[in-house]
């Protein structure tokens, strides 16, 4: 290699090193996201508002407003940071992606703390663990007594959710239909396009209470052994912000506030039908 080529090669190595340092710097800035949020004065929260009592919509003072126990938790985190909270509503399938694009600082939307997701995001401690129900038409209730009764049938789950895995692993011979919103699943069951929908227990109860033509099937939907419970998701590397979130969760689990908020919002969602 001549001198000129050697210089060029060394220059390219230097540029690569700078790029690597810049990447490390970006990682470091992610860990200081607390400063970023405080400087902005706003905590942007991604969620999919179709999960009563965790996140849902009501008309308040003539305006469409997102409420729920996850919103209450987000507000507690905002209070701890001394900033306002801005809710960013979207389909569940886009909630985690919003952390990488900068659209949201945290995501609270009944997100399961799955190891596969931890490759791309930080997770807080678990704040809630739930079971799952199967929602069917009330008129079809006697037809379905086990998962085997759904062979050749269609069963819905929310796209990107843990429930998708439940359908594919437990409902052998059934076709899994992935839909963006829980409300879509409910409408598909009501319209007969699918024969059932696997939905988290409190959310399933809330929708069934609001729809007299629906029922919770007497079918054993097993909670997966790798069901890790719901946690707050944050951008990968935002360790300082994760510590703040964990401190709020720890306090609210200790004093029972999270359970109180879940029950309060369950009642609110029932009265809002």
**CATH assignment of the domain containing 54:** 3.40.190.10
For residues 202 and 51, give the distance between their C-alpha atoms in angstroms, rounded to a whole number.
Answer: 9
Q: Is residue 7 part of a domain?
A: no
Mean pLDDT of the 124-143 span: 94
pLDDT digits 0-9 by tens, 201-250:
888 988 998 899 999 999 999 987 766 789 999 999 999 999 999 999 99
Whether 122 and 231 map to the same domain: the answer is: yes
Whether 121 and 155 map to the same domain: the answer is: no
Of 186, 215, 244, at which residue does a domain stop?
215
Q: Is residue 262 part of a domain?
A: yes
Domain that holds residue 53: 32-128+227-270
193 exposed, middle or buried (CB, 10 Å; 0-12, 13-18, 19+)?
middle
Whether 97 and 57 map to the same domain: the answer is: yes
Q: Is residue 71 part of a domain?
A: yes
Q: Where are the alpha helices (DSSP H) in the chain?
A: 3-31, 33-40, 69-81, 92-95, 97-101, 162-170, 182-191, 201-210, 239-254, 257-271
End-to-end CA separation in angstroms for the chain: 77
pTM of the model: 0.70
Whether 111 and 136 map to the same domain: the answer is: no
Q: How many domains is the chain built from?
A: 2
Q: Is residue 8 part of a domain?
A: no
Taking a C-beta distance cutoff of 8 angstroms, is the pair 106, 87 a contact? no
Tokens 């945290």 locate to 106
Q: Write down the mean pLDDT value for the chain.
A: 87
Whether 69 and 123 map to the same domain: the answer is: yes
pLDDT value of position 269: 85
Whether 111 and 234 map to the same domain: the answer is: yes
In the numeric block, which tokens belong to residue 107? 């995501």
Tokens 């069934």 locate to 208
Taking a C-beta distance cutoff of 8 angstroms, is the pair 117, 127 a contact? no
Confidence band for 3, pLDDT divided at 50, 70 and 90: very low
Check residues 106 and 165 and name the one with the higher pLDDT: 106
């Amino acid at each position: 290699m001549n001198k000129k080529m050697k210089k060029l090669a060394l220059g390219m190595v230097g540029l690569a090193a700078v790029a690597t340092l810049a990447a490390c710097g970006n990682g470091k800035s992610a860990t200081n996201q607390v400063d970023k949020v405080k400087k902005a004065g706003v905590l942007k929260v991604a969620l999919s508002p179709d999960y009563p009592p965790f996140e849902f919509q009501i008309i308040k003072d003539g305006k469409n407003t997102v409420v729920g126990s996850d919103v209450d938790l987000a507000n507690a985190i905002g209070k701890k940071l001394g900033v306002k909270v801005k809710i960013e509503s979207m389909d569940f399938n886009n909630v985690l992606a919003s952390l990488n694009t900068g659209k949201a600082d945290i995501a609270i939307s009944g997100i399961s703390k799955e190891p596969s997701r931890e490759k791309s995001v930080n997770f807080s401690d678990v704040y809630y663990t739930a079971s799952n129900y199967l929602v069917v038409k009330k008129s079809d209730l006697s037809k379905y007594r086990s998962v085997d009764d759904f062979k050749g049938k269609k069963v819905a789950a929310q796209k990107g959710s843990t429930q998708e895995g439940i359908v594919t692993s437990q409902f052998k011979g059934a076709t899994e239909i992935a839909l963006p919103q829980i409300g879509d699943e409910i409408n598909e069951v009501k319209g007969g396009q699918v024969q059932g929908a696997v939905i988290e227990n409190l959310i399933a109860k809330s929708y069934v209470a609001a729809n007299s033509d629906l029922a919770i099937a007497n079918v054993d939907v097993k909670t997966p052994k790798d069901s890790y419970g719901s946690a707050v998701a944050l951008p990968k590397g935002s360790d300082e912000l994760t510590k703040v979130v964990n401190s709020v969760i720890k306090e609210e689990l200790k004093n029972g506030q999270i359970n109180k908020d879940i029950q309060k919002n369950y009642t609110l969602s029932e009265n809002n039908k």
